[in-house]
Amino acid sequence: MVYEHDVLVVGAGLSGLRTAIELSDEYDVAVLTKVHPLRSHSVAAQGGINASLGEDDSWEAHAFDTVKGADYLADQDAVEVLTKNATSAVIENEHWGTAFSRKGDGSLAQRPFGGAMFPRTCYAADRTGHNLLHTTFEQALRKAVKIYSEWFVTSLVADKDGIFGLTAFSLATGQVDGFCSSAVVLATGGFGRVFGKSTNAIINTGDGCALALNSGVPLKDMEFVQFHPTTLFGSNILMTEGARGEGGHLKNSEGKRFMEDYAPDQMELAPRDIVARAIRTEIREGRGVENEYVHLDVRHLGETKIKERLPGIREICIHFAGLDPIEEPIPVQPGQHYSMGGIDCDKEGTTKLPGLFAVGETSCMSVHGANRLGGNSLLETLVFGHVVGKRVGEYLENQRRRSNKEVEEAVFDIRQNLQSLVMREEGELMSSVRMEMNAVMDEKAGVFRNEEDLQQALAEIRDLGQRFDRAALGQTDERFNYALIRALELKNMLDIAEVIVLGAIHRKESRGAHWREDYPERNDTDYLKHTLVTKEDDELKVSYSPVTLGQFEVKERSY
């Protein structure tokens, strides 16, 4: 079977739905998603979304904080789009129905977040993503956007002149089908699950990045992986930056607020890369609690404020750590959290492949550079959902649908591939390959990196790739074959892990979230540029592209 639409959006998180809404008045737009839209990772966002609403605040101040936070690797023209459109994006969602928290006078409340000069983060308690996604989903339903839920996209179909469509399989039937369209927008979210210790949903496996890479589109700045300073020890569930924004303290085993040694001005509200390294350093130097974690202490905020502003955090602590943060400090350690890198595209989402666009966490425009500020990612999904939707609309005005034949042929090939994967009954289990990949990435490509570890990681990831080709699926069911989905995701993650490590090996400097112990300085002379990794004839090639500078001069970064 072949389905036809003007445009296909892959992903039903905030960025995919916002893009689809933009297109829905004029075009036949369909969204494909591997889980129900409301289970997209956007739903888990806690702390908030940035907009310069304050009287003394301005889009320029927001842009400056973003560029400095990014360690000057962000493209300043893209940051301008992000910050200039922040207020309208937040107000639009508010008018659609998001129940933002408010001040006594009824105006939107804003909390301080890391690396920001003003309290700029709008929030709905500590469940901001939940509110935004439900509201945006309602709008997509109102606009009658067609949604293919629990369809897993397996390949893009394209030649050098552009997109024909894609192939996907339905979890419910196990059937592979073709989808023809003049444009495809990848809105598939992050790739956090390449790492073991991660705040990301289990579905954040970077499928869109792998689809782009395998269609000849470069991935950009993939070595810049954000490690969130405060994830719950044991499960690595996120403890929002909002907890520090509300006044929470970080303390080592001696009870000291150690951030005074690392960022004396901003303390706990320094950007995430700096706080994550500070925590890891405290633990390495023997001042961690039980040598494993530090304490996030919110007890002094008092019961009323904790219940009102951080109810989700309190519930998570009670259910997953058996402690009440009103009475006890929270054990935290850094964990993978966000993918600054992604599919190489311009500030309207256009990629090198005609008809292929990218938006949201899977894209790299680049507005976050080497380190994202909290609250800027939810903002990116809404602002660029709108911008990319508009751009795709313009693109479609001049397009005629190309032939369906290529998609039909691709369906045939994918069916064969999946069939042979499902039939592989002998061999080691995929899950052991996945666990080893997670361990390699946690240990050798984490907060602190060096040449020896990274070279070992590269060799081990390549070896795991070969083991994947021989591993067994262990489940032959046609319908609801979750093992098949996990295997396809693992294949994608192995591709991505290799790209991350390769980028990290080549970038012999420390900038933002990428910290090389053997090159601890930022080196603007050689590395103020974006890394591009492209797959050509099954080989990964590294090249570079310039950073777009602008009104903010490149300076040393201190807090």
Ligand X SMILES: Cc1cc2nc3c(=O)[nH]c(=O)nc-3n(C[C@H](O)[C@H](O)[C@H](O)COP(=O)(O)OP(=O)(O)OC[C@H]3O[C@@H](n4cnc5c(N)ncnc54)[C@H](O)[C@@H]3O)c2cc1C
- The residues that are catalytic are 228, 244
Closest chain position to ligand X (CB): 13
Gap between the Cα atoms of 323 and 326, Å rounded: 9
Total of chain residues touching ligand X, rule CB under 6 A: 45
Q: Does 378 bind ligand X (CB under 6 A)?
A: yes
* 375 binds ligand X per the rule CB under 6 A: yes
Q: How many residues in total does the chain contain? A: 559
**Which region, judged by CB under 6 A, interacts with ligand X, from 81-89, 198-206, 285-293, 474-482?**
198-206
d(CA 557, CA 68): 7
CB of 1 to ligand X, least distance (A): 17
**Residue from 7, 8, 14, 176 in contact with ligand X (CB under 6 A):** 14
Q: Is 40 in the site for ligand X (CB under 6 A)?
A: yes
Binding mask 212-241 for ligand X (x = CB under 6 A): --------------------------x---
Q: Which is nearer to ligand X, 212 or 458 (CB)?
A: 212
Residue 48 lies near ligand X (rule: CB under 6 A): yes
To the nearest whole angstrom, how small is the minimum distance from the Cβ of residue 550 to ligand X? 22
In whole angstroms, what is the distance from residue 238 CA to residue 46 CA? 8
Which tokens in the block code for residue 438? Answer: 């997670």
Least distance from ligand X to the Cβ atom of residue 240, Å = 6
Q: Which is nearer to ligand X, 34 or 120 (CB)?
A: 34
Convert residues 478-517 into a mask of x (bound to ligand X by CB under 6 A) and - (unbound): ----------------------------------------
Backbone angles phi, psi at 3, to 5 degrees: -95, 150
Nearest distance, CB of residue 150 and ligand X, angstroms: 9
The answer to the question of residue 343 lying near ligand X (CB under 6 A) is: no
Q: Which of the ranges 57-65, 97-105, 280-288, 357-365 carries the binding residues for ligand X, by CB under 6 A? A: 357-365
> Strand, helix or coil at 419?
helix
Classify each residue of 212-243 as buried b or exposed e, where b means 16 or more C-beta atoms within 10 Å of its C-beta: bbebebbbbbbbbbbbbbbbbbeebbbbbbbb
- Any idea which residue has 């402690």 for tokens? 323
Handedness of CA 273, 274, 280, 281 (dihedral sign): positive
What phi and psi, each to the nearest 5 degrees, are found at residue 297? -110, 115
CB atoms within 10 A of CB 418: 20
Q: Cβ neighbours of residue 243 under 8 Å, at least 6 residues apart?
A: 126, 230, 296, 298, 310, 313, 330
Residues of this chain that interact with ligand X (CB under 6 A) are 10-16, 32-35, 37, 40-42, 44-49, 128-129, 152-153, 187-190, 199-200, 203-204, 207, 238, 338, 360-362, 374-378, 381
